[in-house]
Amino acid sequence: MRCIPILILHGLFVLGGAHAASAKTETGMLGGAAYRVDLPPGWTSGSGLVVFFHGYSDQPIGYAENEPLSPMFDPILREGFAVLQSGYSRPGWAIEQGSADSERLREWFVARHGKPSRTFAMGMSMGGALTVHALETNARAYDGGLSLCGAIEPSDRMMQRDFAVRAAFDYYFPRVLGELVPVPSDYVADGATVTRIAAAMRANPKATASLRAVYGAGDLDSLPGVIAAITYDVKEMQQRTHGNPFGNADLVYTGSADDDALNDGVRRYRAESKAAAYMARWYTPSGELTRPLLALHDTRDPLVIASSAFEYALTVQRAGHADRFVQQYVKQEGHCAFTPAQIGKAFDSLVEWARGGRRPPSGAQP
**What is the separation of C-alpha 209 from the centre of its chain, rounded to a whole number of angstroms?**
26
Indicate if 191 and 48 belong to the same structural domain.
Answer: no
CA torsion angle 287 337 183 258 (round to 10): 90
Measure the CA–CA gap between 321 and 206, rounded to whole angstroms: 44
Residue 9's pLDDT is what? Answer: 40
Average pLDDT along the chain, 366 residues, taken 10 residues at a time = 39 42 90 97 93 96 91 96 98 98 98 96 98 98 98 98 98 97 98 98 98 95 97 98 98 98 98 98 98 97 96 98 98 95 98 96 97
Indicate if 307 and 245 belong to the same structural domain.
Answer: no
Indicate if 248 and 144 belong to the same structural domain.
Answer: no
Residue 19's pLDDT is what? Answer: 52
Kindly report whether the peptide bond that precedes residue 91 is cis, defined as omega within 30 degrees of 0. no
Residue type, 146: L
Count of residues for the chain? 366
Bridge partners (DSSP) listed for residue 51 = 84, 121
Indicate if 199 and 211 belong to the same structural domain.
Answer: yes
Indicate if 233 and 258 belong to the same structural domain.
Answer: yes
Indicate if 205 and 292 belong to the same structural domain.
Answer: no
Residue 1: inside a domain, yes or no? no
Residue 51: inside a domain, yes or no? yes
Residue 13: inside a domain, yes or no? no
Indicate if 25 and 127 belong to the same structural domain.
Answer: yes
Residue 15's pLDDT is what? Answer: 34
Indicate if 266 and 351 belong to the same structural domain.
Answer: no
**CATH code of the domain containing 102:** 3.40.50.1820
**Helical packing angle, 223-241 and 205-215, nearest 10°:** 60
Residue 21's pLDDT is what? Answer: 57
Measure the CA–CA gap between 351 and 366, rounded to whole angstroms: 16
Instruction: Give how many domains the chain has, as a whole number.
Output: 2
Residue 319: inside a domain, yes or no? yes
Residue 242's domain comprises 155-280
Chain segment 159-190, per-residue pLDDT in tens = 999 999 999 999 999 999 999 999 999 999 99
Residue 7: inside a domain, yes or no? no
Indicate if 172 and 274 belong to the same structural domain.
Answer: yes
Residue 347: inside a domain, yes or no? yes
Indicate if 193 and 257 belong to the same structural domain.
Answer: yes
Bridge partners (DSSP) listed for residue 298 = 330
Residues whose CB is less than 8 angstroms from the CB of residue 188 and which lie 6 or more positions away in sequence, other chains included = 232
**Helical packing angle, 273-281 and 155-172, nearest 10°:** 130
Indicate if 159 and 275 belong to the same structural domain.
Answer: yes
Domain end point (choices 251, 280, 309): 280
Domain end point (choices 280, 308, 340): 280
Residue 294: inside a domain, yes or no? yes
Helix, strand, coil percentages for the chain (3-state, nearest 5): 40, 15, 40
Residue 11's pLDDT is what? Answer: 36
Domain end point (choices 253, 280, 307): 280
Residue 271 in contact with residue 180, Cβ under 8 Å? no
Residue 4: inside a domain, yes or no? no
Residue 330's pLDDT is what? Answer: 98
Residue 7's pLDDT is what? Answer: 43
Indicate if 143 and 208 belong to the same structural domain.
Answer: no
Residue 20's pLDDT is what? Answer: 57
Kindly report whether the peptide bond that precedes residue 283 is cis, defined as omega within 30 degrees of 0. yes
